[in-house]
Structure 1
Amino acid sequence: MPTGDLETRAERLREVVETPRRAYLPLPDTQVIERPGWLQLLTPSLRQGGLNEVAYSALDEKEADAVIDETLEQYRRLGLRFRWTVGPDSRPADLAERLERRGMRRNETLGMIRGTSVPASAEGDITVEQVDEHTVEEYSRTMGEGWGMDPEPITAFNRLVLSHPGRRHRLFLARYRGVPAGTAGLVTFERSVYLLGGVVLPAFRGRGLYRALVTERLGYAAGRGIPFATIHARASTSAPLLERFGFETLCRFPIFTND
């Protein structure tokens, strides 16, 4: 993979692990709780997920259990689905085990990167389009179906994304023979785009739609001179596909959810 302006593995690892923590776009009710060794998002209006997470936690070993219990109770009290990322720079060393003991569900995740030079775009039955105000409801319904979520709050959030001044988020809708079949997004940074939210509806899987969504986003980045794409990919689902698409795995870490 070309190294471009990320010359060392340490630089690429920072781009994979640290940069995506700033990928969020807060809603009016989002609380961003940030202090040394801690970054947390809490958004009561998105009860089923999104903008509810502990993105970074480097805790003192003696205080970790109290902080964990307080945080879990905070989300439980509000009835919110959330996730807790235990990245390579998280502490204490047994943070993942402490979360597992409290019943959180572990998903193994790969931090991956590749250059944004791309193969040919999708052809034939598959089309991928960038979402605008005319297609945002269609996109949100498809996204809600794919992730098993209520589309109404998703639509409100996506409208905010589209209207945000100087926005860094882009949304993409994939169709199969004209029928909405998959969705994905990205967030732009100076040296990379962070790929997120890719999902294909079950009836359309195995037809190349996921690859088309990846390719379209790589092309978007390449066309704007952004040399790299990063992603946090679930080991059991998207990571094997992304390896075949040329992504390099730089780290492996768990993401926990409370469902």
Structure 2
Amino acid sequence: MDTAALLAAYDSQMRMPPGGTLPAGVTYEHDGPVVRIVGGHMGRIRPPRDLGVTGAGLDRLITRQRDYFQARGQGVEWKLRGHDLPADLPERLVAAGFVPDEPSTVLLGFAGELATEPVLPGGIVLRQVHEAEDLRRIAGHQSEVWNADLSWVEDMLLSQVSADPAQITILIAEAGDRIACSAWTLYYPGTDFAALLGGTTLPEWRGRGIYRAMIAARAQDAVTRGVPLLHVDASPASAPILRRLGFHKITTSTHYHWTPPK
């Protein structure tokens, strides 16, 4: 496997915010080498692989992003990949008050190889959704599993559907009237990639193949759309499953968060 070629494709197509129809209220703002994503539940910073800025200039760039969102009363996330430059960017983010999450593994897979028929355990029904009530249920499901307030997921999904339903596919696996697993895919016009996001399973349904079935169903959808590559920022729990399915590690990804003081 030519992982260097996969990494090069990822760097050229998936580092900066891609094209397509933006959700209402969301804008991209350029500040030197980075792009600020404004209008979501939190600010997001997307950099190229090499910022081309060092020392005091880099500190000023970081501080401007923090202060911009502080003035909006919002937190901000800076997404850092393991091969980003300059090498001291993590330390400078921390010095500016950003706190790193646990690193994720950036995995890429070939949709055609992963598009098998989904195999679901008995009692589970897989369904594609887009109605507001189902999106509310997904937010509740995600909040329950992660023991955190993820109510913003409802608005985020609804805004994506409203902007362009062709750019998102949302799936739920239901056990009766309860969501056992939820996941979605974002498509980026003009790229070879679909991003697999949100895959979350209730603890009592883990280890029974639902997550794998969700991957297969989303890979089938990507193949139907002519999109060859699947991208996942995988948690430590998900990465081994995805590697066994045939995904390839190309780098790591760490979200550095700054939160306004209360």
TM band (smaller chain): 0.7 to 0.9
Query: What does residue 80 of structure 1 align with?
Result: 74
Q: 1:9 to 1:74 in 2, by over 3 A?
A: same
Query: What does residue 206 of structure 2 align with?
Result: 205
Identity %: 21
Q: Which amino acid aligns with 1:119?
A: T
Q: Contact 2:195–2:230 at 8 Å: present in 1 too? A: yes
Q: Contact 1:128–1:216 at 8 Å: present in 2 too? A: no
CA distance in 2 between counterparts of 1:150 and 1:78 reads 20
CA distance in 1 between counterparts of 2:149 and 2:11 reads 27
CA distance in 2 between counterparts of 1:167 and 1:40 reads 24
1:159-238 alignment to 2 at 5 Å? 159-165=158-164, 167-189=166-188, 190-234=191-235, 236-238=236-238
Q: 1:225 to 1:207 in 2, by over 3 A?
A: same
CA distance in 2 between counterparts of 1:181 and 1:12 reads 33
CA distance in 2 between counterparts of 1:161 and 1:197 reads 14
- The one of 6, 20, 27 equivalent to 1:12 is 6
CA distance in 2 between counterparts of 1:163 and 1:255 reads 27
The answer on 1:135 being equivalent to 2:134 is: yes
The answer on 1:110 being equivalent to 2:105 is: yes
Q: 1:130 to 1:248 in 2, by over 3 A?
A: same
- Give the TM-score normalised by structure 1: 0.80
Unpaired runs of 5+ residues, structure 1, are: 2-7
Superimposed CA distance per residue, residues 105-136 of structure 1 (whole angstroms, 9 cap, x where no aligned partner): 24212221111133331222333221122633
CA distance in 1 between counterparts of 2:75 and 2:31 reads 22
Q: 1:53 to 1:59 in 2, by over 3 A?
A: farther
Structure 2 residue matching 1:114: 3-state secondary structure: strand
Q: Which amino acid aligns with 2:28?
A: V
1:83-94 alignment to 2 at 5 Å? 83-87=77-81, 90-94=84-88
CA distance in 1 between counterparts of 2:222 and 2:106 reads 18
- The one of 112, 118, 133 equivalent to 1:121 is 118
Deviation at 1:200, TM superposition (A): 2.0
Q: Contact 2:103–2:254 at 8 Å: present in 1 too? A: yes
CA distance in 1 between counterparts of 2:47 and 2:162 reads 28
Q: 1:185 to 1:18 in 2, by over 3 A?
A: farther
Q: 1:193 to 1:202 in 2, by over 3 A?
A: same
Q: Give the aligned length.
A: 246
CA distance in 1 between counterparts of 2:161 and 2:226 reads 22
Q: Which amino acid aligns with 1:111?
A: V
Q: Contact 1:114–1:230 at 8 Å: present in 2 too? A: yes
Alignment root-mean-square deviation, CA: 2.8
CA distance in 1 between counterparts of 2:169 and 2:71 reads 33
Q: Which amino acid aligns with 1:56?
A: P
Higher relative contact order (CA 8 A, sep 6+): 2
Query: What does residue 17 of structure 2 align with?
Result: 22
Q: Which amino acid aligns with 2:127?
A: E
Q: Which amino acid aligns with 1:78?
A: R
Q: 1:18 to 1:198 in 2, by over 3 A?
A: farther
Q: Contact 2:105–2:239 at 8 Å: present in 1 too? A: yes
Superimposed CA distance per residue, residues 219-248 of structure 1 (whole angstroms, 9 cap, x where no aligned partner): 2112333222111223x2321221122101
The answer on 1:54 being equivalent to 2:58 is: no
Superimposed CA distance per residue, residues 118-170 of structure 1 (whole angstroms, 9 cap, x where no aligned partner): 3331222333221122633323332343452352x433332232233463111
Q: 1:205 to 1:81 in 2, by over 3 A?
A: farther
Q: Which amino acid aligns with 2:129?
A: V
Q: Contact 1:31–1:41 at 8 Å: present in 2 too? A: yes
Q: Contact 2:180–2:202 at 8 Å: present in 1 too? A: yes
